[in-house]
Amino acid sequence: MIKTYIRRPVYWQKIAPFVGKDIIKVIVGQRRVGKSYFLFQIMDEIKKTNPKVNFIYLNKESEEFSAIKTGKDLLVFVAKKVSRRHKNCIFIDEIQEIDGFEKALRHLSAQGGYDIYCTGSNAHMLSSEIATGLSGRYVAVTMHSLSFPEFLIFHQLKKGEDTLFKYIRYGGLPYIINLELTDEVVYDYLKNIYNTILLKDVVARFGVRNINFLERLVVYLADNIGSFVSAKKISDFLKSQNIRISPNIVLNYLSYLVAAYFISPVKRSDINGKRIFEINEKYYFADLGLRQALIGYRQVDIGKILENLVYNHLQFLEYTITVGKSGAKEIDFICEKAGEKLYIQVAYLLPDEKVKAREFGNLLQIANNYPKLVVSLDVMAGGNYQGIHHLHLLDFLTNNHYPL
């Protein structure tokens, strides 16, 4: 096992309360965000308190474990590795590759005495197999690509606009610390990751037949981050290009991409967040580097790229997020956590009072005392505008606690 890694403390803090407990720990997220290496981190943390623990490890992406295809195979493998003298910790990487794994996990959980950890790259695993087969017996932690503070640590860089734009351009997949940060090198790697996600986690997992349409759909979403889209709107757009795909198929393919943690949907709600609308959503990319690798980094897209970046940070902070809408008024993000709300507008620059009035205006009309922020790249960002905080994007991305 490769054990050289950079620690991800924020995820350890989430998993630590459940270590040693008779509950299955599931780490989920897009491929290549660091789930495998996080398993090694967990192992090392466990060894600090119990050096004699017996680790049973298998990685379904390794040819070494290719013979383990079913839940029964998994149980046979575990039985051969069990220690009768020491604590047994089971680690299974990419468990969705094992047919009927949930039955095997249920059996091991029922036996007791095992500390079980597994990773998966498909949300469908949680919503069906695990949720149905292991109801009440598991806890899930979602792992994301590197946050901006993690990006600085991994790449040994200092906070600044130059490093921010490297993060925007290349994203936060951990492996790119091993690459020269140039478009030619990084985007070649990211395109390979994109192909792997599509082929393994979408096409193979869901039996997708129209791969050409799937790829066109991804490009469409990349062009329209930060815009409201619907299955009908996409279907109508395709018809204009003489491609006939029904809205139902569009919805299915969107759900597959969401299940692979490749994109995230954000629903509309009314400005007060009391009612969720079921039609028209925004979609954001889980990793901006993958988006840029597909269609290139374009300065003209900077506004919606920054919006995607802010959304990803809010997800990292575990907010429940909707887009606020009331008639022509829109709030980029309404965020909720632990009974508290946070309202956020994202802008590239606020060059004059007219633009300021527009960006701050909708926030000023919200009649409650929850904190409200405008996030931008203005050099002089800071302070407040009629009681609303104005924050530079760098400060927003390096602050893990809101309200300020």
Cβ–Cβ < 8 Å for 145, 30? yes
Matching residue, tokens 């590197």: 146
pLDDT at 273 over 80: no
Helices (H), 224-264: 231-239, 247-259
Rounded to whole angstroms, how far apart are CA atoms 352 and 177? Answer: 39
The CATH H-level (homologous superfamily) assignment of domain 9-142 is P-loop containing nucleotide triphosphate hydrolases (3.40.50.300)
pLDDT of residue 143: 97
Cα 284 to Cα 42, 263, 322, 330: the distances in Å are 30, 5, 12, 17
For the segment 116-123, the average pLDDT, to the nearest whole number, is 92
Q: At what angle do helices 161-170 and 302-316 cross, to 10 degrees?
A: 90
pLDDT of residue 128: 62
Instruction: Fill in the DSSP letter of residue 90.
Output: E
In this structure, of 186-190, 223-227, 268-272, the range with the lowest mean pLDDT score is 268-272
Q: What percent of the chain has pLDDT over 70?
A: 95
Cβ–Cβ < 8 Å for 194, 290? yes
pLDDT of residue 278: 65
Specify burial of residue 146 (Cβ count, 10 A radius: 0-12, 13-18, 19+). Answer: buried
pLDDT-derived band at 270 (thresholds 50, 70, 90) equals confident
Rounded to whole angstroms, how far apart are CA atoms 240 and 172? Answer: 36
pLDDT-derived band at 321 (thresholds 50, 70, 90) equals very high
Cβ–Cβ < 8 Å for 325, 277? yes
pLDDT at 122 over 60: yes
What is the pTM (predicted TM-score) of this model?
Answer: 0.95
pLDDT-derived band at 215 (thresholds 50, 70, 90) equals very high
pLDDT in tens, 98-114: 999 989 999 999 999 99
In this structure, of 155-169, 183-197, 359-373, the range with the lowest mean pLDDT score is 359-373
Please state the domain extents for the chain. Answer: 9-142, 148-397
